[in-house]
Amino acid sequence: MGSPLKSLVHDDDRYQRSFHLFLERSSEHQCMRDFIHNKLPDILSSIGDGKSHLNVIGVGSGAGEIDLEMLNELHKKHPGVTVDNEVVEPSSQQLHNYKVLVSQKPELNYIKFTWNKMTASEFEEHWKLSKTTQKADFIHMIQMLYYVKDPGATISFFQSLLDKNGKLLIILVSGESGWGKLWRKYRNELCNTEISQCVTTGDIKSLLDSKGVRYQSFDLPSQMDITECFTEGDEKGELLLDFLTEVLDFNKTASPELKDGVLELLRHPDCSTESEGRVIFNNNLGVIVIDKPH
Checking if the pLDDT of 42 tops 60, the result is: yes
What's the CA gap between 175 and 9, in Å, rounded?
22
* Strands, sheet with 285-291, edge to edge from the N-terminal-most edge strand: 111-116, 82-88, 53-59, 136-142, 162-173, 285-291, 215-220
Q: How confident is the model at residue 12 (pLDDT cuts 50, 70, 90)?
A: confident
Mean per-residue pLDDT for 230-234?
94
Q: pLDDT at position 1, please?
A: 39
Residues 106-126: tens digit of each pLDDT: 999 999 999 999 999 999 999
Q: Is the CB of residue 116 less than 8 Å from the CB of residue 124?
A: no
Checking if the pLDDT of 152 tops 80, the result is: yes
Checking if the pLDDT of 194 tops 70, the result is: no
Checking if the pLDDT of 234 tops 60, the result is: yes
What is the distance between the terminal CA atoms of the chain, rounded to a whole angstrom?
46
Q: pLDDT at position 197, please?
A: 78
Exposure pattern of 175-208 as b/e (b: 16+ CB <10 Å)? bbbbbbbbbebbeebbbbeebbbbbbbbbbbeeb
Structural Rg of the chain based on CA atoms:
19
Residue type, 188: N
Residues tagged in the binding site annotation: 28, 283
With a CB cutoff of 8 Å and minimum separation 6, the contacts of 158 are: 57, 59, 136, 139, 141, 168
For 89: left if phi > 0, alpha if psi spans -120 to 50, otherwise beta; the answer is beta
Residues tagged in the binding site annotation for substrate: 28, 283
Of 14-18, 67-71, 196-200, 270-274, the range with the lowest mean pLDDT is 196-200
Q: Is 124 strand, coil or helix?
A: helix
Q: pLDDT at position 195, please?
A: 62
Residue type, 288: I
Give φ, ψ of 218 to 5 degrees: -135, 150
CATH number of 8-43+53-291: 3.40.50.150
Instruction: Establish how many alpha carbons lie within 13 A of residue 58's alpha carbon, considering only the half-sphere containing its beta carbon.
Output: 27
What's the CA gap between 68 and 64, in Å, rounded?
6
Q: pLDDT at position 193, please?
A: 59
Report pTM. Answer: 0.91
Checking if the pLDDT of 191 tops 80, the result is: no
Checking if the pLDDT of 128 tops 60, the result is: yes
